[in-house]
Structure 1
């Protein structure tokens, strides 16, 4: 059985990215995504 280990692949990828990328860059990306989502939610609610 050749199951695609997507979960383990994602975990390994995130582990490598987390080790390579500085935490402040990850924080900035997460903050930008959060702000974008919040802005989208408020924009749709106003409409």
Structure 2
């Protein structure tokens, strides 16, 4: 998962090789009971917690 305050979708997906992405907000994830934690000081990697398939 990529995350970053003030970054565009293009900036966040520049390192992703897949041709298909999904986009949501931290607010929407929190409404569903989850949260996002930044897990990298460099780059924009994050970890989704609190949600299960």
Q: Same fold (TM over 0.5)?
A: no
Higher helix fraction (1 or 2): 1
Larger relative contact order, structure 1 or 2 (CA cutoff 8 Å, min sep 6): 2
When normalised by structure 2's length, the TM-score is 0.21
Higher strand fraction (1 or 2): 2
